[in-house]
Structure 1
């Protein structure tokens, strides 16, 4: 089990580093990413995806995280509440640092409501991190229906970011990889306590 966790961490870190390297150095990769994005978003229904994007906005994700921590504190699960706050905080901070380091512009024709840099997707980073937190805490208790619901919402966030032309596919993959790396590190620290 521990080996599996390290393998997931290493694989996610390798994917993230490979994406960063290619985004920064490979014109061919960036052209392919742009082409793939164009192929994926030929048609879209902006309104329904705007709702998904709003519910999973990175700032609102912090509110959801604080509410979850409050529930855990009410259940006298203080250390778990601290872990929930720390995990999303660590992921968000890592995402902000990466955005400022990479400085990737958003796709052409993105919504004027979308500001800032493109890589990694903050929405997908937050949704992936919160999804992993929720699965870690409640999957055994609530079962398969809960797991499917969390995964379905995560997939909808990914589709919304692409459909709204806010991100390239590599931005979404990078955000997912970064979330897994941050979650894995946080989880190991939490289990060590």
Structure 2
């Protein structure tokens, strides 16, 4: 299935969003992504962004349900970047216009990154609550079965394809690397 996404496993783009969110493939058909890399201090510094989950003795179907549940809780969260009242010594319309422009610029610069950070934190908390351990991964490998979204979300067939592969990893063999904790 050709697409401009980096993810390795894609669902049919013609599926409705509801069908993509409910699709449960045969786990044998889902490729297991490459997780082999050599950890360096530079990659270890990025483990707060690039990680995956695993839980002993969980089925693929349960892992898929857990990740979808946590993703639904974490997606679409407000970044907290909204309109801030700006003091203007000039008052009036010129001061208000400057405040609007300044807020738009701040939201464009910081809002998307903050929204991604909040999503990661909430996803980690939810999966930890469900008993999953977290493991670090090198960025290029992580991008093959994950997605990041800021102000715009991924198409549902891309999102669900990545989540399906994440479930394959979460229910697969125990990683040989160190658990990161929360």
Q: TM-score surpassing 0.5?
A: no
- For the pair shown, which has the larger CA radius of gyration, 1 or 2? 2
TM-score (norm 2): 0.29
| Structure with the higher fraction of residues in helix conformation | 1
| Structure with the higher fraction of residues in strand conformation | 2
Report 1 or 2 for greater relative contact order, CA contacts < 8 Å, sequence distance ≥ 6: 2
TM-score (norm 1): 0.28
